[in-house]
Amino acid sequence: MGLFIIIGTAGHVDHGKTELVKALTGTNTDRLKEEQERGISIELGFATLRINEDITAGIVDMPGHERFVKNMLAGAGGIDLVMFVVAADEGVMPQTREHLDIIELLHIQRAVVALTKADLVDEEWLMMIEEDVQELLAPTRFSEAPIVSTSVVTGQGIDELRGILEKMALEIEPKPRAGDARLPVDRVFTITGFGTVATGTLFSGKTHVGDTLEIQPSGLTGRVRSLQVHNNKVEEAFAGQRVAVNLTGIELDQLTRGDVLVTPDSFPVVRRVTASLHLLEKAPQPLRNWQRVRFHLGTKEAFGRVRLLDRDELNQGDTALVQLDLEEPIVAAVHDRFVIRRYSPIATIGGGEIIEVGGRRHRRMRQEVIEGLERKLTGTPSTRVAEELRSAKKPVALSELVGRTGFSEEEMGQILNELEEAGEIEVVLSTGKDLFVVPSSLQEEWTEELHETLEKYQQRYPLRSGYSKEELRTRLWKHLTPRLFQALLDRWVEQGEIIVDGQNVALYGHRIRLTEEQQRQVQEMMCIMEEKPFSPPGIEDIQDALGNDLDLLQYCIQQGLLVKVGEEFYFSQDAVNQAWNLLENYLKDHGQVTIGQARDILNTSRRFCLPLLEYFDRMRKTRRVGDKRVLLSGLGKNIST
């Protein structure tokens, strides 16, 4: 399959980036007429460099003029290695420094310095420029970057540079090919007869011809008609490659630089990210809370404001925890690197790493918030996942955890196994497709809350069989879906914490016990009911006998002492069973019964007989045919409520 990497050029305007790329690849990346006339790069340029039989590089030639840093940033996000270009006749210039700040903020993996136009200076001058470059790089992550003197006129250093690129390519950590596809779009155009084409560097995952891709943030979808990788037609493209995607069903004006092509329903579209933000030492002034900035991620630029979570002002050279509230939606993932520029006058002032994507608005100056975010940022994989679960305060799906933390499903599975073995998490529910997990500490907290709530409820309502499941969920855990809440209840039942009776929840061992007075009231009520079993007293008389205690009335119904056969009609269970035995025998002998006949059989009035017959219809003991009832077969004699 071979190795694919992305190389980006960086450096001041007119320092020879484009000519160097042409010397390496034979491609002039200045494709616009204005670029060729002015002799400077305005837009991103692209070329393919075949380093050897096994290594292919896509080169992103980034403009060096200060007016086009926005375009430079659109190309810098996906590169693995930077060719830092400094002209030997001019040396370090303002955009040299700004581009260096940007590639360092983005944590580009490797860098090589090309001193161009070496044929225009003498050896002593060249050595001085090289020392200046070394001094510039010394405090950065690229202090050990090799420096090569080159000339596109004489060919000096071109082969040496190619050899260094080959060596560095083998040191590049490949982008993750597993998981969902994400391709930030840096260029869109049309080809007659084919339609819309989007290009970009595939940040993660794979895509195939025939796949459906989602355009975010618009949510439109298109089918992959064809793919090209480094000008070669392919059936599959994977992370780390420069890819041209021909989409069907998408018009040119429906796609633009800054959009992201993703696997459908994979990456969240958000207007807020939580991050660690470093302010450059050379920033012109401290960063104020709620200051408006230009936010650059991948190929996207968005305006937004910075909320400082742990201070009121961020000084130059310092790092802080922040939330960026953006003015338009973006697609982001945990660990993405970003750059911020001052709103006006425009200048690069800082950048950092995303810790959370979306999520709630954190309260400022809260120690527990700061400590939790620091654990997510610097902790071990297990610590970061455990903190993510704690901050979620609800069971989280495995797939959601993958999106929140940036780990692959395989890595996440191993981390969750470690946490479960250590007793730090519990699997609440397995759907076959996904797992839902919760920190053990949170489940313990919820268990205590459950006990306290049910104890108070049972003390207040001792005659009720339990707390309504749905009322319990909406009162304590309304953020849980009914399905997840049921899974928690099932877990608590297994652990012997609770019992679930239909739609009611009670503590394990809960028993309804009547006081002596309540027992006397129930006995008195039953005596009244037995005086005329088929012509029972009205609901007011029943309530009077029970001391107007509605819970005691409900208890009698739940215990099977009373049967509510109609809106205002209550019979004793014995009376209902006796009535059915009498009517069933009559129906077996005669096949049908009228209301009048049933009234005579039960020696009662139509007022009480009709609700009983309608009750038997509802219980599917009988069926009404005209003004008669007929027996439904296969039914027993006793009726249960």
CATH 2.40.30.10 residue ranges in the chain? 182-262, 269-369
Q: 8-28: string of b/e by CB count within 10 Å (b at 16+)? A: bbbbbbbbbbbbbbbbbbebe
pLDDT at 331 over 70: yes
Mean pLDDT score, 332-349? 94
231 vs 327, residue with greater confidence: 327
Where helices occur in 146-262 by DSSP H, the ranges are 158-169
Backbone angles phi, psi at 315, to 5 degrees: -80, 160
C-alpha torsion sign, points 193, 198, 202, 206: negative
pLDDT at 451 over 70: yes
Mean pLDDT of the chain: 90
pLDDT at 33 over 70: no
CATH number of this structure's domain 516-631: 1.10.10.10
Cα separations (Å) of 288 from 18, 99, 306, 307, 322?
39, 24, 8, 9, 11
640 vs 563, residue with greater confidence: 563
Pairing of strands 45-50, 81-87: unpaired
Q: Is 258 left (phi over 0), alpha (psi -120 to 50) or beta?
A: left
Assign domain 376-431 one CATH number from 1.10.10, 3.30.70, 1.10.3470, 2.60.120: 1.10.10
Q: Which pLDDT value is given to residue 637?
A: 42
Give the Cα separation of 309 and 303 in Å (integer).
19
* Cis status, amide bond into 217, omega within 30 of 0: yes
528 vs 337, residue with greater confidence: 337
Q: Which pLDDT value is given to residue 327?
A: 97
pLDDT at 245 over 80: yes
Q: Residues 18, 41: contact at Cβ < 8 Å?
A: yes
Assign domain 182-262 one CATH number from 3.30.450.20, 2.160.10.10, 2.60.40.10, 2.40.30.10: 2.40.30.10
Mean pLDDT score, 332-358? 95
Q: Does the domain formed by 3-169 have CATH 3.40.50.300? A: yes
Share of the chain above pLDDT 90, in %: 66
Mean pLDDT score, 399-411? 82
Mean pLDDT score, 181-188? 94
Q: Within 13 A of 75's CA, how many CA atoms are on the CB side?
A: 28
Mean pLDDT score, 3-7? 92
Mean pLDDT score, 421-445? 85
pLDDT bucket at 434, cuts 50 / 70 / 90: confident
Mean pLDDT score, 3-12? 93
pLDDT at 483 over 90: no
Please give the model's pTM, rounded to 2 decimal places.
Answer: 0.75
Mean pLDDT score, 309-338? 96
> Minimum mean pLDDT among 6-20, 77-91, 467-481, 548-562: which range?
548-562
Give the Cα separation of 439 and 498 in Å (integer).
20
CATH 1.10.10.10 residue ranges in the chain? 516-631
pLDDT bucket at 635, cuts 50 / 70 / 90: very low
CATH 3.40.50.300 residue ranges in the chain? 3-169
pLDDT at 440 over 60: yes
CATH architecture for the domain at 269-369: Beta Barrel (2.40)
CB contact set of 317 (below 8 Å; sequence gap of 6+): 279, 280, 281
pLDDT at 321 over 80: yes
